[in-house]
């Protein structure tokens, strides 16, 4: 029986897709229970040798998801940047389990009033400071796709308030920042630097680069990994575009007797300021309501497209044996056009389609034994794909990418020339200034003209007028270690490099410091307190021997 289910599971799922509307809620989290390592599905790691229960892990897993979503605006599994930065949801969930245990151990339980204030603060209006109920409702409505309920959100909020108490309790030492220490730190961060920079851009040396066949070949050989083409896949697909279902969507909408009332309600709940045009200008009420109506139209069209794609998928997965050619044959029978993508990598995706990351993930999961995929929703329609071919990673020949390699070689050699020139002038400048010459005089003798850098301090967050070739963080790093009248050593950059000259440090404005110092002191204490708490939590993780299911610790006997 199980073999039969496995054999037909895809068309069974396709049938579900065909009849279930888009508001279908997934009541489980796919990642939970599939931790890998060949262990039990209830193996969620250990704390001090004791297994983490399913209930505790699921709760912590959902809360880790919510925390990430509220901090970044994305779900963890939909944020490539988070993965590249090393975010591990499974690890965060186990750490969250430990923190929730700490809340119980310390008897911390947030009041309903504190929870309400926390929620109101998270979903407050940036302008008026009042809670935006429309934003809150939108957020709650988005939780279903992750199997998270409004009750889970309330528990998360209660625990977040409790964690703030934990931070206050175990980060107490961090609050011991004196006003005198804060004043010294404020002066250090807010004093402005008046500087000049001597630039050595690589672009000035491009014309001087001499390219030989042997040099180019050696350059290519040494950097073959840089030119390696990643594994790619090519798929054929049938698309169910939303535009084909707008007529059906209009019919469905015409049957909604309270449609205008619903649109009015959405407009009132979100507020007039919510609706802006492409230039960021608040739209007039009629235009905003037209926008709401168009969004509803697209939702109805997507519902119809998913249903049509699901029906097609049912028929497709009933064909045996399963092979990629079945897509073309069934599409021809139904008079659907079949398109083929250009080969694409997993992280870039097809450039000619308006699809989401799920399209690439689905395509790369296809194989010769399972060449067909269930419907995938894109930005402008629903897709059903079949594997065309997989292309392994390869290093192209020099002849096939000679123009690119030549350009890279020219820019690299120009960069080396620029940095060599900067290093040589650094020596000249250092020697001559040691003999008593000024920075300006040495530059004039070498017929080099420094550029004036806009004033900045260590607290500066952006420099729109920064001359090309300079990096703000590098300027801060150099200037903070220099004295008035001093020149830095040559500082290499991706564009060449520069030498910085510090003319003067400007004292902090007394009136500005008097006004801003109290808030600065509070922020400094809060940051120091959080750092102290983070250090404490890191120690607790080590003491608790927190471990994942892949490498569980030897279980100790229960006390």
Res. 202: pLDDT tops 70: yes
Of 97-106, 275-284, 312-321, 379-388, the poorest mean pLDDT is in 275-284
Q: Where are the domains of the chain?
A: 31-175+529-543, 192-226+402-506, 229-391
Contacts (Cβ under 8 Å, ≥6 apart) of 395: 224, 227, 228, 229
- The whole-number pLDDT of residue 552 equals 37
Res. 389: pLDDT tops 90: yes
Regarding predicted confidence, which is higher, 6 or 557?
6
Res. 317: pLDDT tops 90: yes
pLDDT in tens, 405-442: 999 999 999 999 999 999 999 999 999 999 999 999 99
What mean pLDDT is reported for the chain? 85
Give the single-character DSSP code of 544. T
pLDDT in tens, 287-297: 989 998 998 99
Backbone angles phi, psi at 229, to 5 degrees: -90, 125
Res. 187: pLDDT tops 80: yes
pLDDT in tens, 205-256: 999 999 999 999 999 999 999 999 999 999 999 999 999 999 999 998 998 8
Res. 10: pLDDT tops 70: no
Of 78-92, 318-332, 385-399, the poorest mean pLDDT is in 78-92
At residue 555 the predicted structure's pLDDT band, cuts being 50, 70 and 90, is very low
At residue 20 the predicted structure's pLDDT band, cuts being 50, 70 and 90, is very low
- The whole-number pLDDT of residue 126 equals 63
pLDDT in tens, 34-88: 443 333 456 788 887 788 888 899 999 999 999 999 888 888 877 766 666 778 8
Percent of the chain with pLDDT strictly greater than 90? 51
Q: What count of other Cβ atoms lies within 10 Å of the Cβ of residue 317?
A: 21
**Angle at the Cα of 146 from the Cα atoms of 142 and 147, rounded to 5 degrees:** 105
Res. 496: pLDDT tops 90: yes
Contacts (Cβ under 8 Å, ≥6 apart) of 267: 275, 285, 288, 289, 292
Res. 168: pLDDT tops 90: no
Res. 3: pLDDT tops 60: no
Whole-prediction pTM value?
0.60
Backbone angles phi, psi at 535, to 5 degrees: -65, -40
Q: Are 94 and 56 in contact (CB under 8 A)?
A: no
At residue 388 the predicted structure's pLDDT band, cuts being 50, 70 and 90, is very high
- The Cα–Cα gap between 84 and 69 comes to 16
pLDDT in tens, 456-488: 999 998 888 899 989 999 999 999 999 999 999
Average pLDDT over residues 187-201: 94
Sign of CA dihedral 513, 517, 523, 525: positive
- The whole-number pLDDT of residue 229 equals 93
- The Cα–Cα gap between 36 and 550 comes to 7
- The whole-number pLDDT of residue 23 equals 33
CATH fold of the domain at 192-226+402-506: Chitinase A; domain 3 (3.10.50)
């Amino acid at each position: 029986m199980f073999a039969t289910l496995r054999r037909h599971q895809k068309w069974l799922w396709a049938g579900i897709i065909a009849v279930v509307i888009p508001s279908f809620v997934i009541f489980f989290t796919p990642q939970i229970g599939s931790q890998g390592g060949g262990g039990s599905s209830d193996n969620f790691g250990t704390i001090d040798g004791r297994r983490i229960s399913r209930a505790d892990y699921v709760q912590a897993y959902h809360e880790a998801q919510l925390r990430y979503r509220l901090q970044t605006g994305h779900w963890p599994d939909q944020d490539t940047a988070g993965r590249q930065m090393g975010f591990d949801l499974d690890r965060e969930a186990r750490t969250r389990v430990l923190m929730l245990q700490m809340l119980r151990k310390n008897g911390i339980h947030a009041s309903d009033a504190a929870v309400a204030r926390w929620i109101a603060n998270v979903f407050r209006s940036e302008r008026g400071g009042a809670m935006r109920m429309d934003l809150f409702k939108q957020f709650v409505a988005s939780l279903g796709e992750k199997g998270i309920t409004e009750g889970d959100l309330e528990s998360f909020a209660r625990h977040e308030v409790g964690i703030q108490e934990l931070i206050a309790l175990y980060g107490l030492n961090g609050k011991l920042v004196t006003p005198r220490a804060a004043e010294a730190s404020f002066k250090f961060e807010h004093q402005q630097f008046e500087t000049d920079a001597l630039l050595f851009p690589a672009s000035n040396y491009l014309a001087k680069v001499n390219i030989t066949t042997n040099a180019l070949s050696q350059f290519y050989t040494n950097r073959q990994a840089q030119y390696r083409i990643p594994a790619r896949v090519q798929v054929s697909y049938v698309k169910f575009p939303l535009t084909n279902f707008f007529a059906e969507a209009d019919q469905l909408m015409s049957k909604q007797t309270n449609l205008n009332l619903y649109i009015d309600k959405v407009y009132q709940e979100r507020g007039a300021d919510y609706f802006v045009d492409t230039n960021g200008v608040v739209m007039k009420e009629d235009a905003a309501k037209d926008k709401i109506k168009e969004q509803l139209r697209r939702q109805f069209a997507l519902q119809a497209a998913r249903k049509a794609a699901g029906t097609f998928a049912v028929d497709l997965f009933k064909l045996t044996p399963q092979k990629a050619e079945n897509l073309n044959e069934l599409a021809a029978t139904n008079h659907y056009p079949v398109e083929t993508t250009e080969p694409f990598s997993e992280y870039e995706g097809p450039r000619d389609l308006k699809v989401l990351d799920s399209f690439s993930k689905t395509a790369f999961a296809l194989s010769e034994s399972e060449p067909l995929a269930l419907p995938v929703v894109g930005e402008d329609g629903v897709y059903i794909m079949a594997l065309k071919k997989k292309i392994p990673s390869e290093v192209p020949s020099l002849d096939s990418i000679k123009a690119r390699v030549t350009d890279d070689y020219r820019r690299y050699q120009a960069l080396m020339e620029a940095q060599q020139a900067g290093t040589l002038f650094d020596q000249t400048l250092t020697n001559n200034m040691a003999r008593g010459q000024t920075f300006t005089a040495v530059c004039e003798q070498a017929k080099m003209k420094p550029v004036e850098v806009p004033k900045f301090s260590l607290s500066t967050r952006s420099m729109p007028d920064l001359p090309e070739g300079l990096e703000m963080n590098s300027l801060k790093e150099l200037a903070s270690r220099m004295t008035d009248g001093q020149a830095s050593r040559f500082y290499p950059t991706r564009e060449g490099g520069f030498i910085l000259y510090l003319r003067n440090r400007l004292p902090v404005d007394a009136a500005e410091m008097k006004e801003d110092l109290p808030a600065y002191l509070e922020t400094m204490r809060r940051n120091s307190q959080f750092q102290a708490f983070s250090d404490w939590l890191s120690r607790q993780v080590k003491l608790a021997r927190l471990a994942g299911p892949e490498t569980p610790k030897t279980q100790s006997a229960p006390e």
